[in-house]
Amino acid sequence: MHSPAPPAQATPQLLFQPRFDGRSGALVGAKLYLARPGRPDNVVVQHAALEDLLPLQVACRLVSGWNTTHRQRIILTVGARLEVLCAPAFSHILNSVLLESRLEPDCLELNIITEQGEVPDTTAAALCHLKACGVRFTISAASQANALLAWIGRLPVDCIEVPAGLVQDVTTDPEGVAIVRALVTRAHRMKLSVNAKGIRNAQVAAVMQACGCDYLQGPLLGQPLMAEDFEHGMVRDMRLDGSLLRGPSAERTLLLVDDEENILSSLRRLLRRDGYTILTATSGQQGLEALATNRVDVIVSDQRMPGMTGVEFLHKAKDMYPDTVRLVLSGYTDLQSVTDAINEGAIYKFLTKPWDDAMLRANIEEAFRRKALSDDNQRLAAELQHANRELERINERLTSVLADRERRLGMDEAALSLTQEALAVMPLPVLGVDPGGMIAFANRAAEKLFPDQAPLLGLGAEDVLPEAFFPLLQASTGQADLLCGSRQFRVEAHPLGGPTASRGCLLTFNGCASTP
């Protein structure tokens, strides 16, 4: 008895977590997960064998279909182990997957998963070779190999992933925010995009967006979805809630921080007439909490407050929200700390108590004008950066198209040269006649056939061939017999070009035989 055939390997359930543009809020990508008991697994490519890449193949086919049907450009991000990516056979397998799925190569992003330290030159070379397939690469900023981005320039990486865990509590951890901001700044200088992943609350989303992260992703923004649910999200134009996107605020929001309630009340009464949205806090900690939950333009803080001085508070505010304009309003002057804060950019101006109403209002109004100008500059810079990236992407595609066209032209030229050379050395006489009746090609055998008139190029065919052949030339098709010396030839005319675009004809002299 034959043992039963093993059941076909089932494809694990695929889940797609949405990724959003940090500037526009539009859906731009999907991170692929495999449904596993307990939690989804983001390591999809673990072996360099085609049968093990079935989930990748299915996902690529789905995303290719979505992009075509809904006329969008969703980038599929797939976790892959570094050692698999560097396997010699993987590039061939990947090309097969892309050809079968018809997914544009730059719509596939391979997330490099590695526990190694610095990647050796051989590995970097293997990744560069794989990059020739046209795919994108991303790597986590939290991996050991990428801790300081010291060697990332040697790799063909397009994007850096920043885990939201770097900012555990945005209201109390300006150091974490500073780390994220530094990573983003350096990545952008290297012309890399940045994806903030694992976002679980609105405060972290706002900070990541304010730090300049290009893409946002996490449970708060969208859980991993089944394929049909993700496609439904594309149909209904799934995008980020506008409240999560930091940008120029429609309202002019002022935060007042002072531990004396009567001072806050006086300032509210004075500034209410100027149309500001006014928030208040009685300590530096409350001020940080207000900044984490509100979009603030200008901060006015007292200096002497319990637990955290105004200068300390504004230093943290600068690290976490550098776009705010920060002022100190105090009757106590610690000249050294205030001077240092101003020199370091933490404080825009220092104002003293008691204040002159008109002067205070004028200084705050000037601070808002400064903030509006900064917002406009940032908006223009972001638009320019976005336009430059789009231009770079278009240039890359154009370069690829031109390279492919040059390659094809090179192949055509090589084929033409080979054809001409083959015709030239053929023992069979061949003449090429253009539509005007001029001989445009004659091989060596043809030159020998009419030695008295050689060279034949440039002569009229009617000057070389007997009159009986004129109808053959005019029709560019047919056949006739020609007696040349002691040899009999069957001359055949083969038309070149199409019926609407004639390019003349090719005459071949066949069936050489001696006369009796």
Across residues 18-40, what is the average pLDDT?
86
How far, in Å, CA of 209 to CA of 215, rounded?
A: 8
Question: Which of 140-144, 357-361, 456-460 is predicted with the least confidence, judged by mean pLDDT?
Answer: 140-144
How far, in Å, CA of 301 to CA of 305, rounded?
A: 9
Crossing angle of the two packed helices 261-271 and 357-425, in degrees rounded to 10: 70
How far, in Å, CA of 490 to CA of 326, rounded?
A: 97
Rg (CA), the chain: 37
Between 146 and 59, the higher pLDDT residue = 59
Q: How far is CA 391 from CA 157, 160, 185, 189, 397, in A?
A: 19, 21, 21, 17, 10
Tens digit of pLDDT for each residue in 54-103?
889 999 999 999 999 998 899 999 998 888 888 888 888 888 899 999 99
Query: What number of residues does the chain have?
Result: 516
Tens digit of pLDDT for each residue in 460-503?
888 888 777 787 777 777 888 877 767 788 888 888 876 666 77
Token representation of residue 87: 């396997």
Highest mean pLDDT among 328-342, 362-376, 498-512: 362-376
Percent of the chain with pLDDT over 70: 84
Across residues 357-376, what is the average pLDDT?
92
Q: Kindly list the structural domains of the chain, giving each domain's residue range(s) and its CATH number in brackets, ordered by start.
A: 14-244 (3.20.20.450), 253-377 (3.40.50.2300), 426-514 (3.30.450.20)
Between 170 and 406, the higher pLDDT residue = 406
Backbone angles phi, psi at 9, to 5 degrees: -65, 125
